[in-house]
Amino acid sequence: MSDRLLELIGNVVADINERRDEKIPTDDLLHVSLYGDSGVFDSMHLVNFLTLVEEAIEDEYDVEISLTSEKAVSRRISPFSGVGRLIEFIEEEMALAGAETGHGSAA
């Protein structure tokens, strides 16, 4: 699944790069840091980015999850420290959403 998610995030980043002067490097996307000292976004752009990812997930998987929740923000290892971490968080949230709607097996 994570390849599909990586591709999905790659598409969102490509979309954002169209309107951005300082392009986000896409050759090693998994290790791009999203927020913080070496992050590519400030807080406002991070919210924009995460909203686009949420929408893409909704379009692709027909499941609604929040990537800007208290849960996301308060993680000891931030899902915004790298795209890889974000994908892990998305997978967890999608499993939970699936479990709640009765489609998945995760509890």
Partner 1 sequence: MRSQLMDKLDHFGDRPAVIHRGVTHSYRDLAGEIRRVEERLAADGVRPHDVVVLNADFSFRSIAALLALYRNRNIVVPVVAFTETTLATVTESCHPRHLLKPDGDDGRGGLTIEAMSGSADGAADAYRPLIEAGAAGLVLLSSGSTGAPKAILHNLDSLVEEKVGTGTRVGAKAPNILMFLLFDHIGGINSLLGVVKVGGTAVVPERRTPDEICSLVETYGIRLLPTSPTFLNLILIGGYHEKFDLGSLRLITYGTEPMPEELLRRVHTALPRIRLLQTFGTSETGISTTTSESSSSTYFKISDENVSYRIVDGELQLKSRTQFMGYLNYPSDSLTEDGWFRTGDLVEENADGYLKVRGRAKEIINVGGEKVLPLELESLLLGSPLIDDCVVYGRPNSITGQSVCVDIKASGPLSRAEARKHVHAFLDGKVEPFKIPTKVQVVEELSVSERFKKRRILP
Chain residues binding partner 1 by CB under 8 A are 19, 43-44, 46-48, 50-51, 55, 59, 66, 68-70, 72-74
- Rounded CA-CA distance 24/4 in Å is 20
- Rounded CA-CA distance 82/78 in Å is 8
- Rounded CA-CA distance 30/88 in Å is 11
CB of residue 89 to partner 1, shortest distance in Å: 13
- CB of 2 or CB of 68, closer to partner 1: 68
CB of residue 102 to partner 1, shortest distance in Å: 26
- CB of 2 or CB of 55, closer to partner 1: 55
- Rounded CA-CA distance 78/80 in Å is 5
